[in-house]
Structure 1
């Protein structure tokens, strides 16, 4: 029988004896890290170029709105129009940020490191989703608040005017929240399907742009019912129909949805629930 030659050497490592912060802390840390990553905070200058360029665009629009109101006393665009009118910058922001949040982890195969901690697969997906929703809210809600502050200072009716302006701001923020919840879910689901960020960005843009001609074709060729429901084919138009049903028509900017407002509400719920559900299913099945 061969003699035993193996030896255990004590090289001085000390066991961790501090507090174990657990699953909640891991979720919070992942969420905070993801929000920072969405804006390129803590990363090199290259990671900041595209998201902050879009932030600059939306802030520039807000500055123009504030300046126009202060000079003319007229409202260039309402808070709701601000949220809906910046659909393309929001789409580009989602196409940049969503792959940054999830595609990089797939490509670099860092998911096993996450899942080796007290962090469930659904925790990872929901933390990333919450971070992307927060980023979109920050992108649109902060400029709206700046517009509100500028509007309050230009009004001459004191607290009454500020309160009335707040009543106008509410639907704008509500519109922003709805857009953030639905569009972030779609974008993150698409980005989670590939580890290549360029492909993910292209696919996200494609989801929003390729479906637009479908709306146009159905609006031209369909009967009255199909024309009223045609806007369901595109997420951006779907959000416009949903907002019109919830908050009403504004400044005669009526989307021809007829009496099908509840259908748009149901469709938005199905789209939101389906996207989040598929996202959770994706991370239950993804190899780690």
Structure 2
């Protein structure tokens, strides 16, 4: 399969959704901070089949492509900028400055930005329990529908109090508001489920929603990538310097050579 050139159909559809106004409040991108670019490229090429594209930000940055579709950003700056090695989800917002202000007012911590990264603006924040997330305002890197089906299935927040976290993110990102096109929130099976256009795009889990907050949980967002064969990905991770933290028939939690954790999940049947 040639992963470097998008098929004509998807490339045309990528222009249909062009900005965060269309999917505000929903996850719209994921990025990884790593230590070594070559090691990162080799690992994720072997495990997820990705190809790579350079970007104007410099030699330490790459865009990952799945079947020609941009699906993730890689920044090999963890050592240089003394940042943690981790996957970070970005949520679409209509106004980055307003979203950062709302996060600060509700006990969150702005870490970086908003900064201009044409064709948009980005900021990195921590919620009031310390989980790191990003926001993005402007033109989307990929058509949102195609991006979700190309690699990420959804993201999950592991936190101490799912209900409290849902309130924080809902107020910062405009979930379940009266604005047209906002994300919907529901409680299913002891977790908070975020839906955009009917699809589950994020989950918040702390055990049963009614349970007392768990002080032992270190809050963090976990990115779930869709794959055809979970076992094959797990073996590839071990072979290329990573490790398998947990493995089931339908999903596995993996760690890359730099220590970043992510989950591979059997690709769902999507229309």
TM-score range, shorter chain: under 0.3
Would you tell me which structure has more strand in proportion to its own residues?
2
Larger radius of gyration: 1
User: Could you tell me the TM-score, scaled by structure 2's length?
Assistant: 0.24
Would you tell me which structure has more helix in proportion to its own residues?
1
User: Could you tell me the TM-score, scaled by structure 1's length?
Assistant: 0.23
